[in-house]
Structure 1
Amino acid sequence: MNPNKIKAIWVLGLMLSVTIAKAQINEGVIKYEYRIDMHRGLTPEQEELKKMIPQHRIENYYLFFNPLESHYKQVEDDDAALAANQGGSRMRMRQPKSETYVHKGDRKIIRLQEFMGKNYLITDSLELIPWKMGNEYMEIEGYVCHMAYYSDTVAKQEITAWFTVQIQPFLGPDKFATLPGTVLALDINNGERVWVARSIEARAIKPDEIKKPEKGEKISREDFQILVDEQLKRMGARPGSFRF
Structure 2
Amino acid sequence: MKAIKILILICTAVIPAAAQQLEGEVTYEKVFHWTRIYSRLTYLSNEEKDRMKQTWGNDDEYKEKMTLLFNEKQSFYTYKKKEENEGGYSWNREDYRIYRNLENGTKTDIIQMIGKTYIVEDSIRVPSWKIMNKIKEVAGHMCMMAVTEDTIKSQKITAWFANDIALTAGPELYTGLPGMILELEINDGDITVSATELKMRPVPAAELDVSKKLKGKKITNKQYDSLVFSHIQDSMKAHRNPFWALPY
Same fold (TM over 0.5): yes
- What residue in structure 2 maps to residue 84 of structure 1? none
1:36 Cα deviation from its structure 2 partner = 2.2
* Cross-structure match for 1:151: 149
Cα gap change, 1:92 to 1:236, in 2 (>3 Å) = farther
Larger helix proportion of the pair: 2
The separation in 2 between residues aligned to 1:132 and 1:169, in whole angstroms, is: 18
Q: What is the distance in 2 between the residues matched to 1:234 and 1:92?
A: 31
Asked if 1:69 corresponds to 2:74, the answer is: yes
User: Which residue, out of 117, 121, 125, partners 1:127?
Assistant: 125
What letter matches 1:222 in structure 2?
Answer: D
Residues 196-239 of structure 1, C-alpha deviation per residue, up to 9 Å, x if partnerless?
Answer: 00110000002431121433221231344257447856985244
| SS state at 1:22 partner | helix
Q: 2:53 aligns with which of 26, 51, 54?
A: 51
Query: Is the 2:67–2:77 contact (alpha carbons within 8 Å) kept by the matching residues of 1?
Result: yes
Give me the whole-angstrom Cα distance separating, in 2, the residues matched to 1:170 and 1:58.
26
* SS class of match (1:93): coil
Give me the whole-angstrom Cα distance separating, in 2, the residues matched to 1:167 and 1:137.
15
8 Å CA contact 1:34–1:195 kept in 2: the answer is yes
Q: For each residue in 1:142-172, what CA deviation from the matched residue of structure 2 results, as whole angstroms up to 9, or x when unmatched? A: 1110111123444321111100011132110
Aligned runs of 1:69-218 on 2, under 5 Å? Answer: 69-77=74-82, 92-115=90-113, 118-213=116-211, 214-218=214-218
Task: Write the letter of the residue equivalent to 1:215.
Answer: K
Query: 1:31-82 CA deviation, whole Å, 9 max, x = no partner?
Result: 111122323145252333342223233221110001100011111358xxxx
> Once the two structures are aligned, what percentage of the paired residues are identical?
26
Structure 1 residue 116: deviation in Å?
5.7
Contact in 2 for aligned 1:29/1:65 (Cα 8 Å)? yes
TM superposition shift of 1:183: 0.4
What TM-score results when the alignment is normalised by the length of structure 1? 0.76
RMSD: 2.9
Distance 1:240 1:50, change over 3 A: closer
Partner of 2:30: 34
* Equivalence for 2:6: none
Distance 2:237 2:151 in 1: 25
User: Residue 31 of structure 2 aligns to which amino acid in structure 1?
Assistant: R
Tell me the TM-score normalized by structure 2. 0.75
Partner of 2:228 in structure 1?
225
Cα pair distance change 1:183/1:114, threshold 3 Å: same
Structure 2 CA distance, aligned partners of 1:95 and 1:230? 25
